[in-house]
Structure 1
């Protein structure tokens, strides 16, 4: 079994991988396959773990499994992969992303850092005992979840632990339950936008979801609303988001997924062509919300289980596309 981990992201899952799959020929390759040896190793792979595939890469004719070490596979040209290859993705990031969202919300409502900084200067601005010194709380606030997959469900569990109300907008109807107070379908978004104090976008990037949060959405939101993007950057219209923040149409945003990303030839870039970094009402993070030791551990196990299943001719989990028989 020749297993290739392609690129820096995939390489994170290679450490200790042999302990999970047993005897295997494991190769870790850089993002750019500059040498003939690297390209030959890629072309000979039975299994590729990687975040992208296109016609610029060598075509591994005998490929049995292409495994994305994450949920999104929009950078994988499925049509360019050999028909023999089963394509899988993996999750395991929802716990971390849910914690990130709750941390972002709590930071706005429990001002620990600001209280600490002030008290070090003998400023008792948050001292209990006077109504003008109160700070806010999460209980009874409404969180609106655009998308109710792995991430949305994990956020809902944690929001309910804080006694929040949970509204959901999803392509398929979500019945009301102990975790969901109100549900909207995508043709009811006009009503959904104004229903929540926090809007969390976690939908995958598709033709349908590109720009799904645009100017009309921001116009319909509460002026006190805070928007989170933990899905894919372009699901929120870049220009509309910047304008809404610049003009204070909404109270703020916490953005983890972006419009411009580093590349080997441009490693130091801002995450947008627009000057979000100059705005005081946005928290900017570098696509880090799901990147924890727990995520790596859970995803590594999913990948290893699928490698063993594919080799044994058993069904894989999280299948994006079925491939031919393992002997083809």
Structure 2
């Protein structure tokens, strides 16, 4: 859904009943237009296409630039209908005074499920056992050394946002001890949530490191060779955040030498740019038996677009009653 949502919200709307002028940028399927129109009909009037009307107040979708902002005097907000806005988009919005940037968390449940699926698949050696069974090889049966027991182990959740909170709840339900780090601890956080400045203190306790961090200047390369060395031997790494949070070479070396038990990776350092094969890294992660690879699909599931549109409608309704803080991106930090 890279081409589905659009522009801004009027400064005048302070109570439900006023109608926002919302523009859906890019290519919206007719059924998508009908759905968002129906869900927001009480407080939003929509247009769709490449060129927004000059009275646009909320821009929803891709393609926003500072030039659009200059041509839209009533623009109040830009909404991207996915979780992680690009650095380029953040810079474009930052250059337009009075315009805020917002994202959606509609895929938090789906991404959490992918993170847990990868954790279990790696811990239980599901992929190599599956490949062996397809060759008639029952060698994995009865071998305790080919699976890890998660109950009683420690999960360190890297990023405690919409996805990280859900991952933590599931890990606790599995009987794991949970620690989490986020940019800075907040009032109301559980006692086991800590500022990221203490990350190195907790890495030696992490039997499983689960990352849901966005990519920013602060998070790029956050987990390098030194951090990986601090993990216990035969720890598990799961990444559903962004690939470059991890140092590509350091992670590969730790996995290929067997220092880490394994990894489940849904996000990468390279993405398709032509006909297959399109390898996701400079290093041959795809050759490692202890790595489960998925093509950055964690946020997708049957019915996810309906969830997306309902989440968008809830966000626009917050705008319509004057709450412009919902899902707001920190433009200084990039997330």
Do structure 1's residue 66 and structure 2's residue 78 form an aligned pair? Answer: yes
Which residues in structure 2 correspond to 1:104-253 (within 5 Å)? 104-110=118-124, 125=139, 135-173=147-185, 182-253=192-263
Q: Distance between the aligned counterparts of 1:159 and 1:79, measured in 2?
A: 37
Q: Distance between the aligned counterparts of 1:18 and 1:6, measured in 2?
A: 16
TM-score, structure 2 as length reference? 0.74
Do structure 1's residue 270 and structure 2's residue 279 form an aligned pair? Answer: yes
Equivalent in 282, 298, 323 of residue 315 of structure 1: 323
Q: Which residue of 2 aligns with 1:31?
A: none
Q: Which residue of 2 aligns with 1:4?
A: 24
Do structure 1's residue 48 and structure 2's residue 69 form an aligned pair? Answer: no
Q: Which residue of 2 aligns with 1:306?
A: 315
Question: Where does the alignment leave 5 or more consecutive residues of structure 2 unmatched?
Answer: 1-20
Q: Per-residue CA shift, 1:159-182, capped at 9, x if unaligned? A: 1111111122233347999x77x4
Q: Distance between the aligned counterparts of 2:30 and 2:195, measured in 1?
A: 39
CA RMSD of aligned residues (A): 3.7
Query: Partner of 1:231: helix, strand, or coil?
Result: coil
How many equivalent residue pairs? 304
CA 1:116–1:258: 2 relative to 1, 3 Å: closer
Q: Per-residue CA shift, 1:225-262, capped at 9, x if unaligned? A: 11111112221122222232233332222111222234
Q: Distance between the aligned counterparts of 1:20 and 1:303, measured in 2?
A: 9
Q: Which residue of 2 aligns with 1:90?
A: 104
Please report how far the alpha carbon of residue 224 of structure 1 lies from its aligned counterpart in structure 2 after TM superposition.
0.6
Question: Where does the alignment leave 5 or more consecutive residues of structure 1 unmatched?
Answer: 29-37, 323-328
Does the 8 Å contact 1:246/1:279 carry over to 2?
A: yes
TM-score, structure 1 as length reference? 0.76
Please report how far the alpha carbon of residue 18 of structure 1 lies from its aligned counterpart in structure 2 after TM superposition.
1.4
Does the 8 Å contact 2:125/2:290 carry over to 1?
A: no
Does the 8 Å contact 1:65/1:307 carry over to 2?
A: no
Q: Per-residue CA shift, 1:181-239, capped at 9, x if unaligned? A: x4553333323222111101122222222111001011111221111111122211222
